């Protein structure tokens, strides 16, 4: 499929809620969003239909009433947060769209505030002893039956009211059951996915070969959905206010992932220009593909290691085609997503081994599970590893290594699987979200204990244990990098979280995207400090956040001392080109100029000047 295939008519159902409200105006409509993954996609809108939430009546015992009530309150709170986010975006909509949607969202919000629906659902949990899902579904149907039975000459208004009740009940039910919001079954080849939001777990289900592009209302530049789309090489724009409500299924849409622009019903001249740009982009990619066999070496002979990040096995062919020297960050979260139970040791071993074998003799760094923050994994809640009730501040809560140390069975199973798979090729193990040296101590003790146990069991594992490294992704870890580097076998700087925690900006929030800036001097100083600390201890230091994938930043990162990059596979050729055009001498001079600045705008100007005027993203 070409990303620029002419659109085919699509019989898809209506896009997600809120329902399409604005009538289709004549002519094209242009929306701005956050440029996520370059490339141009043209195709019919596919509004992924929400899977119907089927609720079977489940009884509880009296002792569970409070817990069920708490689950209901949690789902209501999540629903409220989602709607408040949508309401906050209304200002960015054209007036007519906002006029249509505002009362609808207000009605939904009212129903989340002490409405008959919630009072009734609470009462049903307590009196009929049923689970919260059943209580919400039954109460919603009872209310709809009453509304529709009333004598009212305005039948359409009655049906609208009933539909609103069903809609808010469906939102609460999805939040209670944590069901995926999307259903990609039947996504027509060459379509553009348009949605209110796309969770990372849902993005993991996408088949990049079938999709022309993705555009959603929610999402920030470095959220995991963005990372996934970039890795899959799907043209994507996120944070597009008002799009899901304006788009109609089958309507032609143009997604320009490099410019961060989405156009509904693009005019013929715009379509022709987009097709020309798409061909030029494809030609450029072909030219870059020829770099595959050339080494990543600067003009003054410094060798740079360019590795790929991997989020789902579907990316493996892209990794091998990219010319990357192995995988520098295998995010293992995919193994735990979109499933009911947790994968056991054998199942994990088989997956890790197949990836290590596919990449060998190049190395693979497997990061142990980084659950938490925006990466929700329902199977963990279902298995009782984490509480179902969300933390108030999930990004500051039980994330990464913190969770693993509290769930030793989960941690040990994963370590055992990695150790068994590691006989298939060079492997390293990476610990996420380290903030205390003691976490590294504890993790290493568990790692060695697991290895001893496997040997006793007669399993084949490498004679020398694979190196154990730590992610530097919080300011605390960056500023303690000297102590961590003394004991860790390697450091991997995660600039995505490092920028988030340093600047106190949610990496996945569309509305704060302007404040999220890895070129902020505070972030750069932490990167510099951690890099120098690692190199002083003669430990390998890599950058594996998205910052490393921007060729405009390559010279700066080289100048700060970095020689290892792990980046999304499609970015490897461009970053290699930047490496081959740089000299370490020039890069060090650039880094000095940049590190003297306190204003990100001036830093960007230095980077643009160093590149001969083409500014960094």
**3-state secondary structure string across 471-503:** EECCHHHHHCHHHHHHHCCEEEECHHHHHHHHH
Gap between the Cα atoms of 503 and 517, Å rounded: 8
Q: How much helix, strand and coil, in percent to the nearest 5, is found in the chain?
A: 50, 15, 35
- Indicate the SS3 state at residue 378: helix
Query: φ, ψ for residue 600 (rounded to 5)?
Result: -55, -30
Q: Nearest Cα to 55, choosing from 166, 146, 147?
A: 166
Task: List the single partner that 378 binds among ligand PEP, Mg ion, none, CB under 5 to 8 Å by kind.
Answer: none
Residue (365 or 496) nearer to ligand PEP, CB: 496
Residue (68 or 546) nearer to ligand PEP, CB: 546
Among residues 224, 325, 520, 606, the one annotated as catalytic is 224
Least distance from C-beta 151 to ligand PEP, angstroms?
57
Residue (257 or 545) nearer to ligand PEP, CB: 545
Task: List the single partner that 495 binds among ligand PEP, Mg ion, none, CB under 5 to 8 Å by kind.
Answer: ligand PEP
Gap between the Cα atoms of 615 and 413, Å rounded: 46
Chain contacts with ligand PEP (rule: CB under 6 A): 227, 329, 331, 370, 473, 494-497, 544-545
Residue (274 or 509) nearer to ligand PEP, CB: 509
Gap between the Cα atoms of 479 and 459, Å rounded: 39
Gap between the Cα atoms of 364 and 115, Å rounded: 53
Q: Is the peptide bond before 428 cis (omega within 30 degrees of 0)?
A: no
Gap between the Cα atoms of 112 and 135, Å rounded: 15
- Contact between residue 64 and residue 132 where contact means Cβ atoms under 8 Å apart: no
**Closest-CB residue for ligand PEP?**
494
Task: List the single partner that 544 binds among ligand PEP, Mg ion, none, CB under 5 to 8 Å by kind.
Answer: ligand PEP
Q: Is 520 a catalytic residue?
A: no
Among residues 144, 325, 544, 606, the one annotated as catalytic is 544
- Residue 205 CB contacts under 8 Å (≥ 6 apart), including other chains: 180, 182, 184, 338
Query: φ, ψ for residue 213 (rounded to 5)?
Result: 180, 170
Least distance from C-beta 108 to ligand PEP, angstroms?
32
Bridge partners of 241, per DSSP, are none
Q: Is 544 a catalytic residue?
A: yes
Residue (333 or 473) nearer to Mg ion, CB: 473
Gap between the Cα atoms of 142 and 223, Å rounded: 40
R_g of the chain computed on alpha carbons: 25
Chain contacts with Mg ion (rule: CB under 5 A): 473, 494, 497
Residue (134 or 502) nearer to ligand PEP, CB: 502
Gap between the Cα atoms of 477 and 534, Å rounded: 12
Residue (431 or 607) nearer to ligand PEP, CB: 431
Q: Which residues are catalytic?
A: 224, 544
């Amino acid at each position: 499929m070409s990303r620029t295939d002419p659109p085919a008519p699509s019989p898809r159902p209506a896009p997600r809620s809120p329902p399409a409200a604005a009538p289709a105006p004549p002519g094209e409509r242009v929306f701005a969003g956050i440029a996520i993954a370059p490339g141009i996609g043209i195709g019919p809108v596919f509004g992924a239909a929400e899977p119907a939430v089927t609720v079977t009546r489940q009884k509880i015992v009296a002792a569970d009433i409070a817990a069920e009530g708490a689950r209901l309150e949690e789902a209501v709170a999540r629903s409220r947060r989602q709607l408040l986010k949508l309401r906050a975006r209304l200002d960015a909509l054209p007036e007519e769209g906002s006029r249509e949607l505002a009362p609808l969202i207000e009605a939904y919000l009212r129903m989340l505030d002490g409405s008959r629906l919630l009072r009734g659902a609470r009462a049903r949990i307590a009196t009929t002893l049923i689970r919260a899902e059943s209580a919400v579904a039954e109460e919603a149907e009872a209310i709809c039956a009453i509304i529709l039975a009333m004598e009212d000459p305005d039948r359409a208004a009655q049906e609208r009211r009933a539909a609103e009740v069903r809609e808010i009940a469906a939102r609460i039910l999805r939040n209670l059951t944590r069901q995926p919001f999307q259903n990609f079954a039947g996504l027509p080849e060459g379509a553009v996915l348009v949605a209110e939001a796309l969770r990372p777990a849902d993005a993991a289900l996408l088949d990049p070969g079938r999709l022309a592009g993705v555009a959603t209302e929610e999402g920030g530049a470095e959220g995991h959905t963005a990372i996934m789309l970039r890795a899959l090489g799907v043209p994507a724009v996120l944070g597009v206010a008002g799009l899901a409500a304006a788009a109609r299924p089958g309507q032609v849409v143009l997604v320009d992932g490099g410019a961060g622009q989405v156009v509904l019903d693009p005019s013929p001249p715009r379509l022709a220009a987009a097709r020309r740009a798409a061909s030029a982009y494809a030609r450029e990619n072909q030219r870059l593909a020829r770099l595959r066999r050339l080494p990543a070496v600067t003009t003054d002979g410094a060798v740079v290691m360019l590795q790929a990040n991997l989020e789902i096995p579907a990316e493996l062919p892209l990794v091998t085609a990219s010319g990357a020297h192995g995988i520098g960050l295998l995010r293992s979260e995919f193994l735990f997503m979109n499933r009911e139970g947790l994968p056991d040791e054998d199942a994990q071993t088989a997956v890790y081994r197949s990836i290590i074998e596919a990449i060998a003799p190049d190395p693979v760094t497997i990061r142990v599970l980084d659950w938490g923050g925006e990466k929700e994994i329902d199977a963990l809640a279902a298995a009782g590893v984490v509480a179902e009730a969300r933390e108030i501040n999930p990004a500051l809560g039980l994330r990464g290594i913190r969770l693993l140390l509290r769930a030793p069975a989960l941690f040990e199973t994963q370590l055992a699987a990695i150790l068994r798979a590691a006989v298939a090729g060079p492997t390293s193990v990476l610990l996420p979200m380290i903030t205390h040296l003691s976490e590294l101590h504890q993790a290493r003790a568990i790692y060695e204990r697991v290895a001893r146990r496997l040997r006793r069991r007669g399993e084949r594992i490498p004679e020398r244990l694979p190196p154990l490294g730590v992610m530097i992704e919080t300011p605390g870890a960056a500023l303690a990098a000297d102590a961590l580097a003394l004991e860790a076998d390697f450091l991997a700087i995660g600039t995505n979280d490092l920028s988030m925690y340093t600047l106190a900006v949610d990496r996945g929030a569309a509305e704060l995207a302007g404040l999220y800036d890895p070129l902020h001097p505070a972030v750069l100083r932490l990167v510099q400090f951690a890099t120098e600390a690692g190199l002083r201890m003669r430990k390998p230091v890599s950058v594996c956040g998205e910052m490393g994938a921007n060729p405009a930043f390559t010279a700066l990162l080289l100048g700060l001392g970095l020689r290892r990059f792990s980046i999304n596979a499609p970015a490897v050729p461009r970053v290699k080109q930047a490496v081959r055009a740089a000299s370490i001498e020039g890069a060090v001079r650039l880094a000095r100029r940049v590190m003297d600045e306190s204003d990100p705008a001036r830093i960007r100007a230095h980077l643009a000047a160093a590149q001969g005027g083409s500014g960094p993203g």
